[in-house]
Amino acid sequence: MTTAAEAGGTALAPSVATDTTLPRFAVPTEIRDWGSRNAVATRRPLRAVLMLIETACWYGAFIAVGEFVGTWWGWILAWVGLVACMMRIDAIHHEGVHRSLFRNRFGNDVVATVTGALEGFHAPVYRCFHLAHHALTRRSGDPSDPEDFYDEMITRPMRVGPVTLPAHGSYILGNLLGGLTFAMQLSAAAISTMIGRPPAYVRTASLDRYVRRWGLVPFVLWTALVVGAIATDSSKELLLWWLVPMGLFLAGPYTFFALSEHYGAAADAPMIVSTGSVETNAVYRWITLDGNYHLAHHVFPNASWWWLRPADDVLRPHTELHYSGYLSFHRQVWRDMKDPARKSEHP
């Protein structure tokens, strides 16, 4: 753990859980002061509610397109839009996990649990996983960052049964299956936690209680959707409106856009130089609630989403992990797999 003294006049970021024993990170005092002056964690519930209504209307509009056209190509167009909606739902889930939408915990937890279920994730366990990642960003040892698997696994050769995939094969397979396998791992971890065998990232008392309190809700929601569709002879609609776009989102976009967040960062280095951000277009920023500004989110994990872009401007001089776009980033990853020594180079 880096102390304030070791960091050279820096102040510790807030803890991610009330009773956590995990490390906390040092960031420059002027950055922390900027966040305090601008009150970046101030909540605007009306703005959050309007954003949720906007997302629901947007989702419904794409379903209407598919139903109105009623052909295979019409549904392909609708699914493109619904996958973008899933990206927004993922962003909302993430905001709820950090309780950044509303002033009260319950409202945030309800939104996080429901939106997580809609994208296929067991949200209560994901919250534990994600908060541990924030506290242990790129930390090795025990406990270690549970999110290292992105670039530690899918950019290296991978053994699948008797077959060893080269790094490029791992990359392709990891992007296609990463989100789907992660969703299954979260559900398995939820069951393990509820029977008294939690994974390492559910090791604090508050997080264990949280999973036990909310752990059955995603399973109940999924069961209700399936049973309701069967009972009302709406299985086709369930497939077209939810299961296909959810599967398409998890089978590609989820991992594709997440890989840049900590790729190429040194282990056990200060968090502020171990987290990346990506410049992108206004449409992507709108869809993902400025989720491309990942360093700003790590420095201010409880900041409302509209503060991430201004925070990124302040943080830019402190990081070299800043990419000009997602496509250029992945082209660099592809080149790095040909020459692994390149990975240690800053973009």
Q: For residue 7, what pLDDT is reported?
A: 36
CA dihedral 171, 87, 292, 26 (to 10 degrees): -90
Residue with the larger pLDDT of the pair 21 and 93 = 93
Q: Closest by alpha carbon to 260, among 280, 283, 286?
A: 280
- Report the relative pairing of strands 163-165 and 277-278 from DSSP bridges: unpaired
* pLDDT for the residue numbered 146: 85
Summarize pLDDT for 173-221 with one digit per residue, the tens: 889 999 999 999 999 999 999 999 999 888 778 888 899 999 999 999 9
Which residue has better confidence, 16 or 105?
105
**What is the distance between the terminal CA atoms of the chain, rounded to a whole angstrom?**
26
One-letter amino acid of 178: G
329, 283 in Cβ contact below 8 A?
A: no
